[in-house]
Structure 1
Amino acid sequence: MKKKQITKTMLVTSMALLLGLSTACSNSNSGSGNSGSEPAKTGNTAATDAPKEIVELKAITMGNEPKSGLDNFYKELDALTEKDLGIRVRFDYIPWGDEKNQISRAIAAKEYDLYVGGAWSDFANFATKNAFADLTPLLEETPDLVEHYKGSLDRVKIDGKVFGIPQYNKPGGGGEGMLYREDLRQKWGLPEIKNLETAEQYLYKAKEEYPSTPMLNDKRFGTNIYSQLIASKYYTVAADYAVASYEDPYKIISIYDTPEYKEAVAKAKQWYDDGIVDHDVLAAQGNATAETLELMKVDQKPLEFNNHLGAVSNNYINQLKDALPDSTYGWYDFLMDNDAPAFLPRMSPSTITMISVGANTQYALQALKFIEKGHTDQTYYNLLAYGVEGENYKVDADGYILYEGIPTDNIKPAWTGLYDGYQALQVNYPGEWKAIFDNIQAEGAKRAEAGGTDPYEGFSFDTSSLATELSNLETVKTQYIQPLSVGMSNDIDGDLAKVQKQLKDAGFDTYLAELQKQVDAFKASK
């Protein structure tokens, strides 16, 4: 399928409008469209050899389209979905970078039937505006899905409704962290990287050895400095705005009132002034990981400061090992290595798959059954997660996924949001990375079992009454907070005071009061 990137010229409509399900029906023996067809019939119909009508649904997934294998991928997928569900599904790949804006534009323009969302998207805001189908009544017709989730889908409700099916994690470790060249750390005689101080030593030595390359080119680094400083002290309740201490978990505190925020800003300023940070960092896309990967592959940069263990494991390691066979790598986890408590997997609207809604909702059930198949049928899962065996991945004699002999540009990204720890095959990662990954999972699982349930399990902040405040706060974040968080300040105290004033004028007190009110109600309900 030809790669398609959503552009800024896409028609943007009001997010408050109901979004329609785009359908293109076609004869199962041809590729021609025939919109307006009736839904595919199920069961026995009149004795006739008339071809069955097939609904074609459009879906978004993140990452880069594999170089080859999609023809066979769709051939295998169509053979399953046409027989089982009376549908075809076609995916458009959205490269990581400006994903939040691209997905928001796609939703507003009614482009797709199946969407993906995560912490990097505006899913919850769109859900409160009826952008997605309420799946709650349809769950009765997908009993295998409900059974697979063991009743936990009730825990992802927003305003009493299930708007999406979340990824399903097993207890385990690994979150945001820093990938680095372990062979160079040893060569440079630096200590093992286990905290912000030792990570900083590596950054400065790397800058000395790679003087033409800024070590930090992703504006999220300031947030990750803060997350390391608060890992052993606070829960993050509302990203970018509010935390709560472990000692008093239901008492909301503004991020900007914590002493650690000023400490993070001071550290960011130090790195910015010392040239560790690209001075054009604010011009970078929201996610600069693709640029960093290319630099690492040609040995022009020895680290990636902002990424997730899963993304590094699935998208980075094979490419890096292929490009630099003698290199070895290490992982510094911002939360686990800083003594953050671990809990059993939280079932929440984080990475999630949604179905659009509008005047034509007759295919929502088929779409949901497609998601059900992805989570409960191993053949579907393997195809959607890994692609075509032999072309996009291999399986060794022990049942491990491996990519030996598979060109790195032909490794298929999984359908974003589908990940299911109870369906996923183990990966035989190359070299030292398998031990690193397995050890993190084992340690995370042990901590999660000891930690029990997250006190915010099941909490979802309903911001539907805060549209004006959220818009104002986003402006403040862009104009005042973002420059400060990357170290662009000549007067930290003065700039912090300015941020506090701008937040107050934007309605931050109202935002915090509403959040506290909902947290109090959640606490009372427990």
Structure 2
Amino acid sequence: MKKNLKKIVSLVLALVMSAGMLAGCNKSPAGKPNDGTSGSEATGEIPTLVWWSIGGTVPADLSESLDTINKYLVEKIGAKVEIKISSWGDWEKKMNTIVNSGEYFDLMFTNTNNYNRFVSMGAFADITDMVESNTPDLYKTIPEELWKGTQVGGRIYAVPTYKDSSIAQFWCFDNKYVQKYNIDVPSIKTMKDLDAPFRAMKKGEGKGFYPLQLSQGSQFSGFFNEYDGLTAGLYPIGVKIDDKNRKVVSVLEQPEIMENLKLLNQWYKDGIINPDANVLLEAPVGLPYLSAQGWPQAVSTWQKLHGVEKYDTVKVFGPVYNTDSIQGSLNAISANSKYKEKALELLQLANTDHKFRDMLAYGVEGKHFEYVSENVVKVLTDAWFQGLPKYTQATFFNMSTEDGSDPNQWNDVKKQNEDATTSVCMGFALDISNIQNEIANCKVVWDKYRYDMMAGASDPETAVPACLKELKAAGFDTIMIEAQKQIDEFFK
């Protein structure tokens, strides 16, 4: 009976995936170019490009502000943009719904969680040839290694965001707690090292205080850094970044991962993690502790984002390059867009035009920000900043810095990229065209367990075996075998 039920569930999921693919009408299969423009692009009308992204609270004046920004866009590329924001916690589900239903869009922020899968479903346009011929300035602006890291089956389906493209993980403590509890931040290197300061803070601040505040949209950042996710968008599978044998493993079963999951569970039970961490969509501001990927000077941004006067930081990982890190921020063009060329021109402008880049990052001059010097801005309101995160949009390297931050930080980010080591699987991207159903089924299983597991709300001693049992029934072993086969062939 159970076996039959599993078969029925798998069949239903496969049919849902197929229906989603059909709903998109005229989507091209993975590996087949679909970069032509429709007749509507040649009619002389001023198109409005729909751009879906991820962020926080949508600014109340977004529509009004876009009217101002669009005047500049019309002047530059003869197009307008409508930016739509999905919240951190709802983003992945929302993008799945958009793609599966065939809802119209022109551009979409994407990353390793769904990029390869959406490419395999034919949701994104193949821009390999068009990006060089139609937008040469864009192609030249972004390093070749980033274009390579974006490829699926040797083709390009998205524009990578050229920024801190290698991974460097920082842990941050609000300075007022550092001073109050004598926390030796530089000595903290592992999750076990966090235990003592967390407990000191909890004991001193009382029952309603949670040193580690998590949510569905903000889990423990960097938890799986030691494993290359192979762009599968499925954390339970990976290769240790320094394993020269490149052995594909079940990540949840690795000893250090299990130990850290147990630690999360203990923190949850002891009230160090907020009790609603597994159901809360977004974490509150003012976090006493923060785990974030970035570069040293990014602390000024994190302080502003979380309303903390001063964070004391320590780098605990990296910098390391892998294909996942490159695919951590991408913008793709819909295979069904009526304005593919204009969409690509928009991304070129964002990556090469200083004025437009600042508009995306900071909003409307005189309303959301003002220039204090040629490449330095003073932010007048946090509303735009909170709703539209800069890392999702375009390169950092033609964007103004904020008043009070290091004006040379972009040079330091470039140096961090140059100094990064590389994963043993750097350049490899899993082709999921033959395992789409297994990937989709396993993502359903992982989504069922991950919010409890990554919040510490479930006991990993029972949750991990239960999760693995369902993953295997959903095709996990097939994915691992296929991944190992492709890796061996790629690095032969």
TM norm structure 2: 0.79
Of 236-245 and 384-393, the range deviating more from structure 2: 236-245
Shift of 1:255: 0.7
Corresponding position of 2:304: 318
Whichever residue aligns with residue 352 of structure 1, its letter is L
Whichever residue aligns with residue 241 of structure 1, its letter is I
Alignment of 1:56 onto 2:48: yes
Whichever residue aligns with residue 54 of structure 1, its letter is I
Distance 1:387 1:221 in 2: 25
Distance 1:83 1:483 in 2: 49
Q: Cα–Cα, structure 1 residues 505 and 320, in superposed 2: closer, same or farther, change >3 Å?
A: closer
Q: Cα–Cα, structure 1 residues 399 and 14, in superposed 2: closer, same or farther, change >3 Å?
A: same
Corresponding position of 2:432: 463
Corresponding position of 2:332: 354
Does the residue aligned with 1:53 lie in a helix, a strand or coil?
A: coil
| Contact residue 219 and residue 284 of structure 1 kept, 8 A | yes
Shift of 1:421: 2.8
Distance 2:449 2:62 in 1: 46
Deviations 1:463-503 (A, max 9, x none): 2222332233234324456544544456x545544444333
Does the residue aligned with 1:262 lie in a helix, a strand or coil?
A: helix
Write the mapping of 1:206-245 to structure 2, written as runs, cut at 5 A. 206-208=201-203, 209-214=205-210, 215-218=212-215, 224=221, 226-227=223-224, 231=226, 234-237=227-230, 238=232, 239-244=235-240
Whichever residue aligns with residue 470 of structure 2, its letter is Q
Whichever residue aligns with residue 400 of structure 2, its letter is L
Does the residue aligned with 2:41 lie in a helix, a strand or coil?
A: coil
| Contact residue 61 and residue 415 of structure 1 kept, 8 A | no
Corresponding position of 1:156: 150
Corresponding position of 1:506: 474
Shift of 1:260: 0.9
Deviations 1:28-73 (A, max 9, x none): xxxxxxxx984356xxxxxxxxxx5212222123323334475354
Whichever residue aligns with residue 330 of structure 1, its letter is D
Does the residue aligned with 1:91 lie in a helix, a strand or coil?
A: strand
Corresponding position of 1:85: 77
Write the mapping of 1:476-491 to structure 2, written as runs, cut at 5 A. 476-480=445-449, 482-489=451-458
Distance 2:40 2:364 in 1: 32
Distance 1:37 1:510 in 2: 43
Corresponding position of 1:408: 382
| Contact residue 191 and residue 198 of structure 1 kept, 8 A | no
Whichever residue aligns with residue 331 of structure 2, its letter is T
| Contact residue 106 and residue 338 of structure 2 kept, 8 A | no
Deviations 1:123-148 (A, max 9, x none): 22111111111112322121111222
Whichever residue aligns with residue 185 of structure 1, its letter is V
Distance 2:262 2:164 in 1: 37
2:349 aligned residue (341, 350, 373) = 373
Write the mapping of 1:158-237 to structure 2, written as runs, cut at 5 A. 158-169=152-163, 174-175=168-169, 177-192=170-185, 194-195=188-189, 196-208=191-203, 209-214=205-210, 215-218=212-215, 224=221, 226-227=223-224, 231=226, 234-237=227-230
Corresponding position of 1:49: none
| Contact residue 40 and residue 86 of structure 1 kept, 8 A | no
Distance 2:280 2:18 in 1: 26
Alignment of 1:122 onto 2:114: yes
Q: Cα–Cα, structure 1 residues 350 and 84, in superposed 2: closer, same or farther, change >3 Å?
A: same
Deviations 1:106-138 (A, max 9, x none): 23331321111124x422211111111111232
Distance 1:222 1:57 in 2: 32
Shift of 1:313: 5.2
Q: Cα–Cα, structure 1 residues 259 and 204, in superposed 2: closer, same or farther, change >3 Å?
A: same
Distance 1:463 1:158 in 2: 9
Of 208-217 and 381-390, the range deviating more from structure 2: 208-217
Q: Cα–Cα, structure 1 residues 417 and 248, in superposed 2: closer, same or farther, change >3 Å?
A: same
Count, aligned residues: 453
Distance 1:256 1:265 in 2: 9
Distance 1:187 1:421 in 2: 36
Shift of 1:16: 1.3
| Contact residue 236 and residue 243 of structure 1 kept, 8 A | yes
Distance 1:248 1:468 in 2: 30
Shift of 1:149: 2.1
Q: Cα–Cα, structure 1 residues 125 and 212, in superposed 2: closer, same or farther, change >3 Å?
A: same
Q: Cα–Cα, structure 1 residues 474 and 158, in superposed 2: closer, same or farther, change >3 Å?
A: same
Does the residue aligned with 2:196 lie in a helix, a strand or coil?
A: helix
| Contact residue 110 and residue 331 of structure 2 kept, 8 A | yes
Corresponding position of 2:398: 423
Shift of 1:357: 2.0
Whichever residue aligns with residue 168 of structure 1, its letter is Y
Shift of 1:164: 0.9
Distance 2:306 2:456 in 1: 30
Structure 2: runs of 5 or more not aligned: 1-15, 27-37
Does the residue aligned with 1:134 lie in a helix, a strand or coil?
A: coil
Shift of 1:226: 4.3
Does the residue aligned with 2:401 lie in a helix, a strand or coil?
A: coil
| Contact residue 116 and residue 416 of structure 1 kept, 8 A | no
1:328 aligned residue (291, 310, 319) = 310
Q: Cα–Cα, structure 1 residues 320 and 509, in superposed 2: closer, same or farther, change >3 Å?
A: closer
Distance 2:151 2:240 in 1: 22
Q: Cα–Cα, structure 1 residues 497 and 441, in superposed 2: closer, same or farther, change >3 Å?
A: farther
Corresponding position of 1:274: 270
Alignment of 1:39 onto 2:41: yes
Distance 2:450 2:384 in 1: 40
Corresponding position of 2:418: 449
Q: Cα–Cα, structure 1 residues 154 and 171, in superposed 2: closer, same or farther, change >3 Å?
A: closer
Corresponding position of 1:31: none
